[in-house]
Protein backbone atom coordinates (compact mmCIF):
# COMPACT_ATOMS: atom_id res chain seq x y z
CA UNK A 1 0.00 0.00 0.00
CA UNK A 2 1.51 3.30 -1.00
CA UNK A 3 1.06 6.71 0.53
CA UNK A 4 -2.10 7.04 -1.42
CA UNK A 5 -3.53 3.84 -0.12
CA UNK A 6 -2.66 4.89 3.42
CA UNK A 7 -4.25 8.22 3.21
CA UNK A 8 -7.27 6.81 1.58
CA UNK A 9 -7.57 4.11 4.13
CA UNK A 10 -7.29 6.69 6.86
CA UNK A 11 -9.85 8.80 5.06
CA UNK A 12 -12.09 5.79 4.78
CA UNK A 13 -11.84 4.96 8.43
CA UNK A 14 -12.62 8.46 9.54
CA UNK A 15 -15.02 9.55 6.87
CA UNK A 16 -18.01 8.45 8.84
CA UNK A 17 -16.98 10.80 11.63
CA UNK A 18 -15.49 13.71 9.74
CA UNK A 19 -16.25 15.44 6.49
CA UNK A 20 -16.29 13.32 3.37
CA UNK A 21 -12.75 12.37 2.34
CA UNK A 22 -10.99 15.09 0.46
CA UNK A 23 -9.01 13.94 -2.52
CA UNK A 24 -6.12 12.19 -0.81
CA UNK A 25 -2.62 13.52 -1.24
CA UNK A 26 -1.74 11.15 -4.01
CA UNK A 27 1.46 11.54 -5.82
CA UNK A 28 2.65 11.01 -9.33
CA UNK A 29 5.49 12.93 -10.95
CA UNK A 30 3.27 13.82 -13.83
CA UNK A 31 -0.39 12.88 -14.08
CA UNK A 32 -1.35 12.29 -17.72
CA UNK A 33 -4.99 12.92 -16.82
CA UNK A 34 -4.02 16.51 -16.06
CA UNK A 35 -1.29 17.38 -18.54
CA UNK A 36 1.08 16.06 -21.17
CA UNK A 37 3.75 13.88 -19.66
CA UNK A 38 6.95 12.31 -20.93
CA UNK A 39 6.43 8.76 -22.25
CA UNK A 40 6.98 5.82 -19.92
CA UNK A 41 9.89 3.53 -20.73
CA UNK A 42 8.38 0.15 -21.60
CA UNK A 43 9.53 -3.30 -20.60
CA UNK A 44 8.25 -5.08 -23.70
CA UNK A 45 9.72 -8.43 -22.80
CA UNK A 46 9.69 -11.26 -20.24
CA UNK A 47 12.45 -11.72 -17.74
CA UNK A 48 13.05 -13.28 -14.35
CA UNK A 49 15.17 -11.11 -12.10
CA UNK A 50 17.09 -13.30 -9.66
CA UNK A 51 18.06 -11.14 -6.75
CA UNK A 52 21.13 -13.17 -5.83
CA UNK A 53 22.93 -10.23 -7.44
CA UNK A 54 22.26 -6.62 -8.38
CA UNK A 55 19.70 -6.51 -11.21
CA UNK A 56 20.92 -5.37 -14.65
CA UNK A 57 21.52 -1.68 -15.13
CA UNK A 58 18.49 0.44 -16.08
CA UNK A 59 16.01 -2.13 -14.81
CA UNK A 60 15.46 -1.27 -11.14
CA UNK A 61 16.34 1.68 -8.96
CA UNK A 62 16.33 2.20 -5.24
CA UNK A 63 13.96 4.97 -4.30
CA UNK A 64 14.85 4.68 -0.63
CA UNK A 65 17.36 2.82 1.51
CA UNK A 66 19.74 0.04 0.65
CA UNK A 67 19.14 -3.50 -0.59
CA UNK A 68 21.61 -6.31 -0.01
CA UNK A 69 21.82 -9.06 -2.61
CA UNK A 70 22.66 -12.54 -1.41
CA UNK A 71 22.96 -15.85 -3.32
CA UNK A 72 20.99 -17.75 -0.66
CA UNK A 73 18.28 -15.37 0.48
CA UNK A 74 17.91 -13.04 -2.50
CA UNK A 75 17.38 -9.32 -1.98
CA UNK A 76 17.19 -8.28 1.68
CA UNK A 77 15.18 -5.16 2.55
CA UNK A 78 15.89 -4.24 6.15
CA UNK A 79 14.15 -1.74 8.38
CA UNK A 80 16.50 -0.82 11.22
CA UNK A 81 15.00 2.34 12.61
CA UNK A 82 12.15 4.82 12.33
CA UNK A 83 12.06 6.37 8.88
CA UNK A 84 13.64 3.40 7.08
CA UNK A 85 11.65 2.34 4.06
CA UNK A 86 13.65 0.35 1.56
CA UNK A 87 12.10 0.28 -1.90
CA UNK A 88 13.24 -1.12 -5.20
CA UNK A 89 11.20 0.20 -8.12
CA UNK A 90 11.34 -0.77 -11.77
CA UNK A 91 12.43 1.87 -14.26
CA UNK A 92 10.21 0.20 -16.79
CA UNK A 93 6.47 -0.13 -17.22
CA UNK A 94 4.40 -3.08 -18.40
CA UNK A 95 1.06 -2.68 -20.10
CA UNK A 96 -1.02 -5.66 -19.07
CA UNK A 97 1.10 -8.53 -17.96
CA UNK A 98 2.12 -10.77 -15.15
CA UNK A 99 4.49 -10.73 -12.21
CA UNK A 100 5.53 -13.67 -10.05
CA UNK A 101 7.38 -12.68 -6.92
CA UNK A 102 8.96 -15.15 -4.50
CA UNK A 103 8.89 -13.29 -1.22
CA UNK A 104 9.31 -13.90 2.48
CA UNK A 105 7.68 -11.11 4.46
CA UNK A 106 9.32 -9.28 7.36
CA UNK A 107 8.14 -9.97 10.88
CA UNK A 108 7.40 -7.28 13.44
CA UNK A 109 4.28 -5.46 14.54
CA UNK A 110 3.48 -2.54 12.24
CA UNK A 111 6.00 -3.61 9.60
CA UNK A 112 4.56 -3.92 6.09
CA UNK A 113 6.16 -5.87 3.25
CA UNK A 114 4.74 -5.15 -0.16
CA UNK A 115 4.60 -5.87 -3.86
CA UNK A 116 3.03 -2.89 -5.61
CA UNK A 117 2.16 -2.08 -9.18
CA UNK A 118 1.52 1.61 -9.76
CA UNK A 119 0.83 3.78 -12.77
CA UNK A 120 1.15 7.46 -13.60
CA UNK A 121 -2.60 7.99 -13.17
CA UNK A 122 -2.45 6.15 -9.81
CA UNK A 123 -3.89 2.86 -10.82
CA UNK A 124 -2.49 0.38 -8.35
CA UNK A 125 -2.40 -3.35 -7.63
CA UNK A 126 -1.01 -4.65 -4.34
CA UNK A 127 0.09 -7.61 -2.33
CA UNK A 128 0.75 -6.66 1.28
CA UNK A 129 1.98 -8.51 4.33
CA UNK A 130 1.75 -7.41 7.93
CA UNK A 131 4.64 -8.39 10.17
CA UNK A 132 2.17 -8.86 13.00
CA UNK A 133 -0.11 -11.19 11.07
CA UNK A 134 1.79 -14.22 9.96
CA UNK A 135 -1.20 -16.12 8.59
CA UNK A 136 -2.59 -13.69 6.02
CA UNK A 137 -1.62 -12.00 2.80
CA UNK A 138 -3.61 -8.96 1.66
CA UNK A 139 -4.57 -8.01 -1.87
CA UNK A 140 -5.81 -4.66 -3.02
CA UNK A 141 -6.32 -2.43 -6.06
CA UNK A 142 -7.05 1.19 -6.89
CA UNK A 143 -8.30 2.79 -10.09
CA UNK A 144 -7.16 6.36 -10.80
CA UNK A 145 -6.29 6.74 -7.13
CA UNK A 146 -9.91 6.31 -6.09
CA UNK A 147 -10.72 4.39 -2.96
CA UNK A 148 -14.11 2.84 -2.69
CA UNK A 149 -13.16 1.07 0.56
CA UNK A 150 -14.16 -2.35 -0.54
CA UNK A 151 -11.19 -3.25 -2.67
CA UNK A 152 -9.07 -5.15 -0.18
CA UNK A 153 -8.95 -8.92 0.19
CA UNK A 154 -7.36 -11.14 2.83
CA UNK A 155 -6.02 -14.58 2.07
CA UNK A 156 -4.95 -17.35 4.42
CA UNK A 157 -1.44 -18.55 3.55
CA UNK A 158 -0.51 -22.14 4.41
CA UNK A 159 2.67 -22.16 6.45
CA UNK A 160 2.44 -18.41 7.03
CA UNK A 161 3.91 -15.45 5.20
CA UNK A 162 6.87 -14.87 7.54
CA UNK A 163 8.52 -18.26 7.67
CA UNK A 164 9.13 -19.07 4.05
CA UNK A 165 9.05 -17.81 0.50
CA UNK A 166 5.75 -17.94 -1.31
CA UNK A 167 4.84 -17.36 -4.91
CA UNK A 168 2.72 -14.20 -5.14
CA UNK A 169 1.49 -13.83 -8.68
CA UNK A 170 -0.81 -11.43 -10.50
CA UNK A 171 -2.06 -11.85 -14.05
CA UNK A 172 -3.56 -8.79 -15.68
CA UNK A 173 -5.46 -8.30 -18.93
CA UNK A 174 -7.88 -5.62 -19.98
CA UNK A 175 -10.73 -7.91 -19.00
CA UNK A 176 -9.60 -9.10 -15.60
CA UNK A 177 -7.02 -9.15 -12.85
CA UNK A 178 -6.10 -12.37 -11.05
CA UNK A 179 -4.20 -12.97 -7.83
CA UNK A 180 -2.49 -16.37 -7.48
CA UNK A 181 -0.93 -17.75 -4.32
CA UNK A 182 1.53 -20.65 -4.66
CA UNK A 183 -0.14 -21.75 -7.87
CA UNK A 184 -3.66 -21.39 -6.56
CA UNK A 185 -6.04 -18.88 -8.11
CA UNK A 186 -7.42 -17.03 -5.10
CA UNK A 187 -9.01 -13.84 -6.41
CA UNK A 188 -10.39 -12.33 -9.62
CA UNK A 189 -11.41 -8.78 -10.35
CA UNK A 190 -13.44 -8.33 -13.51
CA UNK A 191 -12.94 -4.96 -15.19
CA UNK A 192 -16.68 -4.37 -15.37
CA UNK A 193 -16.99 -4.93 -11.62
CA UNK A 194 -14.65 -2.03 -10.89
CA UNK A 195 -17.07 0.89 -11.13
CA UNK A 196 -18.11 -0.26 -14.58
CA UNK A 197 -14.43 -0.37 -15.73
CA UNK A 198 -13.67 3.19 -14.62
CA UNK A 199 -11.81 2.09 -11.48
CA UNK A 200 -10.19 -0.88 -13.13
CA UNK A 201 -6.36 -0.68 -13.17
CA UNK A 202 -5.65 -0.37 -16.88
CA UNK A 203 -2.63 1.86 -17.47
CA UNK A 204 1.09 0.95 -17.75
CA UNK A 205 2.48 -0.17 -14.39
CA UNK A 206 5.81 -0.07 -12.62
CA UNK A 207 6.71 -2.81 -10.14
CA UNK A 208 7.88 -1.87 -6.64
CA UNK A 209 9.12 -4.13 -3.87
CA UNK A 210 9.42 -2.50 -0.48
CA UNK A 211 9.25 -2.54 3.27
CA UNK A 212 7.71 0.33 5.24
CA UNK A 213 6.38 1.17 8.67
CA UNK A 214 2.60 1.18 8.53
CA UNK A 215 2.72 1.57 12.29
CA UNK A 216 5.07 4.54 12.39
CA UNK A 217 4.08 6.47 15.53
CA UNK A 218 3.60 9.59 13.38
CA UNK A 219 1.20 7.86 11.01
CA UNK A 220 -2.53 8.41 11.05
CA UNK A 221 -4.26 6.44 13.75
CA UNK A 222 -6.29 4.51 11.21
CA UNK A 223 -3.18 3.44 9.34
CA UNK A 224 -1.48 2.27 12.53
CA UNK A 225 -4.57 0.24 13.32
CA UNK A 226 -4.64 -1.23 9.84
CA UNK A 227 -0.94 -2.13 10.18
CA UNK A 228 -1.67 -4.03 13.38
CA UNK A 229 -0.20 -1.55 15.85
CA UNK A 230 2.75 0.77 16.42
CA UNK A 231 5.90 -0.41 14.67
CA UNK A 232 8.34 -2.37 16.75
CA UNK A 233 11.77 -0.80 16.16
CA UNK A 234 13.51 -2.78 18.91
CA UNK A 235 15.19 -5.04 16.37
CA UNK A 236 15.79 -5.00 12.61
CA UNK A 237 13.11 -6.49 10.36
CA UNK A 238 13.96 -7.91 6.97
CA UNK A 239 11.87 -8.78 3.95
CA UNK A 240 13.46 -11.13 1.40
CA UNK A 241 12.73 -11.38 -2.30
CA UNK A 242 14.34 -14.26 -4.12
CA UNK A 243 13.14 -13.48 -7.61
CA UNK A 244 10.61 -11.57 -9.65
CA UNK A 245 9.40 -12.59 -13.05
CA UNK A 246 7.91 -9.78 -15.08
CA UNK A 247 6.05 -10.41 -18.31
CA UNK A 248 4.86 -7.48 -20.35
CA UNK A 249 1.93 -8.47 -22.54
CA UNK A 250 2.77 -5.57 -24.87
CA UNK A 251 5.92 -5.16 -26.88
CA UNK A 252 7.45 -1.80 -27.42
CA UNK A 253 9.94 0.81 -26.40
CA UNK A 254 7.65 3.38 -24.81
CA UNK A 255 4.09 3.84 -23.63
CA UNK A 256 2.41 7.20 -23.67
CA UNK A 257 -1.01 8.62 -22.95
CA UNK A 258 -2.87 9.79 -26.04
CA UNK A 259 -5.47 11.77 -24.10
CA UNK A 260 -6.60 12.66 -20.58
CA UNK A 261 -8.97 9.72 -20.11
CA UNK A 262 -6.64 7.41 -18.20
CA UNK A 263 -8.05 4.46 -20.14
CA UNK A 264 -6.17 1.61 -21.73
CA UNK A 265 -7.61 2.62 -25.11
CA UNK A 266 -5.71 5.90 -24.88
CA UNK A 267 -2.29 4.29 -24.49
CA UNK A 268 0.04 4.63 -27.47
CA UNK A 269 2.83 2.15 -27.94
CA UNK A 270 6.07 3.23 -29.60
CA UNK A 271 7.66 0.18 -31.18
CA UNK A 272 11.28 -0.85 -30.74
CA UNK A 273 13.40 -2.49 -28.09
CA UNK A 274 13.12 -1.01 -24.63
CA UNK A 275 16.09 0.23 -22.62
CA UNK A 276 15.46 -2.57 -20.14
CA UNK A 277 15.37 -5.14 -22.97
CA UNK A 278 18.69 -3.86 -24.32
CA UNK A 279 20.23 -3.93 -20.88
CA UNK A 280 19.06 -7.46 -20.12
CA UNK A 281 20.21 -8.82 -23.47
CA UNK A 282 23.48 -6.95 -23.62
CA UNK A 283 26.32 -9.39 -24.29
CA UNK A 284 28.39 -9.67 -21.17
CA UNK A 285 31.82 -8.09 -21.42
CA UNK A 286 34.28 -10.77 -22.55
CA UNK A 287 36.90 -11.76 -20.01
CA UNK A 288 40.58 -11.69 -20.93
CA UNK A 289 40.76 -15.49 -20.97
CA UNK A 290 37.78 -15.69 -23.34
CA UNK A 291 39.48 -13.25 -25.66
CA UNK A 292 42.65 -15.31 -25.49
CA UNK A 293 40.76 -18.52 -26.27
CA UNK A 294 39.20 -16.85 -29.29
CA UNK A 295 42.61 -16.24 -30.88
CA UNK A 296 43.79 -18.60 -33.68
CA UNK A 297 46.55 -20.98 -32.50
CA UNK A 298 49.22 -19.54 -34.85
CA UNK A 299 48.75 -16.13 -33.28
CA UNK A 300 48.95 -17.70 -29.85
CA UNK A 301 52.35 -19.36 -30.43
CA UNK A 302 53.66 -16.12 -31.86
CA UNK A 303 52.55 -14.36 -28.73
CA UNK A 304 54.12 -17.06 -26.54
CA UNK A 305 57.47 -16.62 -28.29
CA UNK A 306 57.35 -12.87 -28.03
CA UNK A 307 56.27 -13.17 -24.43
CA UNK A 308 59.39 -15.26 -23.69
CA UNK A 309 61.66 -12.47 -24.89
CA UNK A 310 59.58 -9.78 -23.26
CA UNK A 311 59.51 -11.83 -20.05
CA UNK A 312 63.28 -12.04 -19.89
CA UNK A 313 63.62 -8.33 -20.51
CA UNK A 314 60.95 -7.59 -17.93
CA UNK A 315 62.66 -9.73 -15.34
CA UNK A 316 65.89 -7.80 -15.78
CA UNK A 317 64.04 -4.53 -15.65
CA UNK A 318 62.24 -5.59 -12.48
CA UNK A 319 65.49 -6.44 -10.68
CA UNK A 320 66.86 -3.08 -11.67
CA UNK A 321 63.68 -1.34 -10.61
CA UNK A 322 63.62 -3.16 -7.29
CA UNK A 323 67.15 -2.07 -6.41
CA UNK A 324 66.47 1.45 -7.45
CA UNK A 325 63.15 1.45 -5.62
CA UNK A 326 64.77 0.73 -2.30
CA UNK A 327 66.78 3.88 -2.60
CA UNK A 328 63.78 5.84 -3.71
CA UNK A 329 61.47 4.88 -0.88
CA UNK A 330 61.88 8.22 0.78
CA UNK A 331 61.39 10.18 -2.41
CA UNK A 332 58.16 8.26 -3.13
CA UNK A 333 56.70 9.16 0.22
CA UNK A 334 57.46 12.79 -0.39
CA UNK A 335 55.83 12.60 -3.81
CA UNK A 336 52.68 11.04 -2.38
CA UNK A 337 52.38 13.86 0.11
CA UNK A 338 52.78 16.34 -2.71
CA UNK A 339 50.04 14.65 -4.73
CA UNK A 340 47.69 14.80 -1.79
CA UNK A 341 48.37 18.50 -1.46
CA UNK A 342 47.62 18.94 -5.17
CA UNK A 343 44.26 17.27 -4.72
CA UNK A 344 43.48 19.53 -1.82
CA UNK A 345 44.30 22.62 -3.86
CA UNK A 346 42.18 21.32 -6.70
CA UNK A 347 39.22 20.88 -4.42
CA UNK A 348 39.71 24.42 -3.20
CA UNK A 349 39.61 25.71 -6.74
CA UNK A 350 36.50 23.66 -7.41
CA UNK A 351 34.79 25.48 -4.58
CA UNK A 352 36.10 28.89 -5.58
CA UNK A 353 34.49 28.39 -8.95
CA UNK A 354 31.27 28.57 -7.10
CA UNK A 355 30.25 24.97 -7.54
CA UNK A 356 28.85 24.10 -4.19
CA UNK A 357 29.46 20.39 -3.78
CA UNK A 358 26.59 20.16 -1.33
CA UNK A 359 24.20 21.16 -4.07
CA UNK A 360 24.94 17.82 -5.64
CA UNK A 361 23.38 16.06 -2.70
CA UNK A 362 19.94 16.96 -4.02
CA UNK A 363 18.51 13.49 -3.70
CA UNK A 364 19.22 13.10 -0.04
CA UNK A 365 18.06 16.58 0.74
CA UNK A 366 14.89 16.21 -1.23
CA UNK A 367 14.11 12.95 0.43
CA UNK A 368 14.79 14.37 3.88
CA UNK A 369 12.66 17.39 3.13
CA UNK A 370 9.68 15.14 2.96
CA UNK A 371 10.32 14.16 6.55
CA UNK A 372 6.76 14.88 7.39
CA UNK A 373 5.83 11.93 5.25
CA UNK A 374 8.30 9.58 6.85
CA UNK A 375 5.66 6.99 7.54
CA UNK A 376 4.50 7.05 4.03
CA UNK A 377 7.89 7.34 2.45
CA UNK A 378 6.99 4.36 0.36
CA UNK A 379 4.94 6.64 -1.79
CA UNK A 380 7.64 9.26 -2.19
CA UNK A 381 7.93 9.93 -5.89
CA UNK A 382 10.67 8.33 -7.87
CA UNK A 383 12.70 10.34 -10.28
CA UNK A 384 10.97 11.36 -13.47
CA UNK A 385 10.98 8.69 -16.15
CA UNK A 386 14.31 8.62 -17.87
CA UNK A 387 16.08 10.43 -15.07
CA UNK A 388 19.40 8.99 -14.12
CA UNK A 389 19.30 10.26 -10.58
CA UNK A 390 20.91 7.68 -8.37
CA UNK A 391 19.80 6.29 -5.06
CA UNK A 392 19.70 8.89 -2.34
CA UNK A 393 22.32 7.31 -0.14
CA UNK A 394 24.84 7.35 -2.96
CA UNK A 395 25.16 11.10 -3.29
CA UNK A 396 28.63 12.21 -4.14
CA UNK A 397 30.23 14.48 -1.66
CA UNK A 398 33.76 15.59 -2.44
CA UNK A 399 34.26 16.82 1.11
CA UNK A 400 34.17 13.20 2.26
CA UNK A 401 36.51 11.72 -0.25
CA UNK A 402 39.29 14.21 0.15
CA UNK A 403 39.81 13.74 3.84
CA UNK A 404 39.52 16.02 6.82
CA UNK A 405 41.72 18.68 5.26
CA UNK A 406 38.80 19.76 3.07
CA UNK A 407 36.51 20.65 5.89
CA UNK A 408 38.22 23.86 7.04
CA UNK A 409 38.21 25.00 3.43
CA UNK A 410 34.46 25.20 3.49
CA UNK A 411 34.63 27.56 6.39
CA UNK A 412 37.37 29.64 4.78
CA UNK A 413 35.15 30.06 1.78
CA UNK A 414 32.16 31.06 3.78
CA UNK A 415 33.98 34.01 5.28
C1 LIG B 1 -4.91 -11.32 10.56
O2 LIG B 1 -5.75 -10.88 9.52
C3 LIG B 1 -7.00 -11.59 9.46
C4 LIG B 1 -7.73 -11.13 8.22
O5 LIG B 1 -7.93 -9.75 8.21
C6 LIG B 1 -7.79 -11.31 10.72
O7 LIG B 1 -9.00 -12.00 10.69
C8 LIG B 1 -6.94 -11.75 11.91
O9 LIG B 1 -7.61 -11.42 13.11
C10 LIG B 1 -5.59 -11.10 11.90
N11 LIG B 1 -4.76 -11.67 12.93
C12 LIG B 1 -4.00 -10.91 13.70
C13 LIG B 1 -3.15 -11.64 14.69
O14 LIG B 1 -4.00 -9.70 13.63
C1 LIG C 1 4.11 -19.07 -9.48
O2 LIG C 1 2.73 -19.25 -9.68
C3 LIG C 1 2.32 -19.09 -11.03
C4 LIG C 1 0.82 -19.10 -11.06
O5 LIG C 1 0.33 -20.31 -10.63
C6 LIG C 1 2.95 -20.20 -11.85
O7 LIG C 1 2.56 -20.10 -13.18
C8 LIG C 1 4.46 -20.11 -11.75
O9 LIG C 1 5.08 -21.18 -12.40
C10 LIG C 1 4.91 -20.05 -10.31
N11 LIG C 1 6.30 -19.64 -10.32
C12 LIG C 1 7.25 -20.19 -9.56
C13 LIG C 1 8.61 -19.63 -9.71
O14 LIG C 1 7.01 -21.11 -8.81
C1 LIG D 1 -16.96 5.79 -10.72
O2 LIG D 1 -16.61 6.40 -11.95
C3 LIG D 1 -17.12 7.71 -12.13
C4 LIG D 1 -16.72 8.16 -13.52
O5 LIG D 1 -17.29 7.29 -14.46
C6 LIG D 1 -16.55 8.63 -11.08
O7 LIG D 1 -17.07 9.94 -11.25
C8 LIG D 1 -16.91 8.10 -9.72
O9 LIG D 1 -16.27 8.90 -8.72
C10 LIG D 1 -16.44 6.66 -9.59
N11 LIG D 1 -16.94 6.13 -8.33
C12 LIG D 1 -16.12 5.69 -7.38
C13 LIG D 1 -16.78 5.12 -6.16
O14 LIG D 1 -14.91 5.71 -7.45
C1 LIG E 1 15.74 -5.61 -31.02
O2 LIG E 1 16.58 -6.64 -30.51
C3 LIG E 1 16.65 -7.78 -31.34
C4 LIG E 1 17.43 -8.85 -30.60
O5 LIG E 1 18.56 -8.31 -29.98
C6 LIG E 1 17.30 -7.39 -32.67
O7 LIG E 1 17.36 -8.51 -33.51
C8 LIG E 1 16.47 -6.29 -33.31
O9 LIG E 1 17.07 -5.82 -34.46
C10 LIG E 1 16.26 -5.12 -32.34
N11 LIG E 1 15.32 -4.19 -32.92
C12 LIG E 1 15.53 -2.89 -32.97
C13 LIG E 1 14.43 -2.06 -33.55
O14 LIG E 1 16.56 -2.38 -32.56
pLDDT in tens, 194-225: 999 999 999 999 999 999 999 999 999 998 99
- Tell me, yes or no, whether 289 lies in a domain: no
State mean pLDDT over 336-358: 51
- Tell me, yes or no, whether 317 lies in a domain: yes
Centre of ligand 1 to C-alpha 139, Å, is 14
> Is 244 in contact with 49 (CB distance < 8 Å)?
yes
Selecting among 68, 128, 235, 393, the annotated active-site residue is 128
Question: For this structure, is 128 an active site residue?
Answer: yes
Phi-psi region of 38 (alpha: psi -120 to 50; beta: other; left: phi over 0): beta
Give the HSE-up count for residue 22: Cα atoms under 13 Å, Cβ half-sphere: 3
- Tell me, yes or no, whether 288 lies in a domain: no
pLDDT reading at 389 higher than 50 = no
> Is 79 in contact with 213 (CB distance < 8 Å)?
yes
- Tell me, yes or no, whether 252 lies in a domain: yes
User: Rounded to an integer, what distance in angstroms lies between the CA atom of residue 76 and that of residue 414?
Assistant: 42
State mean pLDDT over 162-182: 98
- Same domain? For 92 and 189 the reply is yes
Q: Quick one: pLDDT at residue 147?
A: 78
> Is 207 in contact with 90 (CB distance < 8 Å)?
yes
- Same domain? For 311 and 223 the reply is no
- Same domain? For 346 and 380 the reply is no
pLDDT reading at 393 higher than 60 = no
Selecting among 124, 184, 220, 247, the annotated active-site residue is 124
Residue nearest atom 9 of ligand 1, based on CA coordinates: 133
Query: Parallel, antiparallel, or unpaired for β 254-257 and 111-119?
Result: unpaired
Centre of ligand 2 to C-alpha 248, Å, is 16
- Same domain? For 203 and 317 the reply is no
pLDDT reading at 263 higher than 50 = yes
- Tell me, yes or no, whether 287 lies in a domain: no
Residue 368 domain boundaries: 354-415
The 10s digit of each residue's pLDDT in 349-358 is: 444 444 443 4
Q: Is 198 in the pocket of ligand 3 (CB under 6 A)?
A: yes
Q: Quick one: pLDDT at residue 191?
A: 98
Q: Which ligand is nearest to the CA of 225?
A: 1
- Tell me, yes or no, whether 392 lies in a domain: yes
Q: In terms of Cα–Cα distance, which of 298, 290, 410 is closest to 350?
A: 410
Amino acid sequence: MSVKSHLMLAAALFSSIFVPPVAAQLHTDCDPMEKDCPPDPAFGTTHTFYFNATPPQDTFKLTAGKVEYNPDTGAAFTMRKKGDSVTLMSNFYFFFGRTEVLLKAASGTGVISSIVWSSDVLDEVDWEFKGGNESYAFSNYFGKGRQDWKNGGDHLVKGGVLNDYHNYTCVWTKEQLEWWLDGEHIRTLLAKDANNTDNYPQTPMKLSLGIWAGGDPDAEKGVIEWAGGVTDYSEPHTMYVKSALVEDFSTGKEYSYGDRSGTWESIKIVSGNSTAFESIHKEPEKSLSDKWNDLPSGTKSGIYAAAGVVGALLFGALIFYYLKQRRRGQQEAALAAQRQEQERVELERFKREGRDPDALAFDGAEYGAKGGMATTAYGVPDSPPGSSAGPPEKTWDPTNSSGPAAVPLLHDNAK
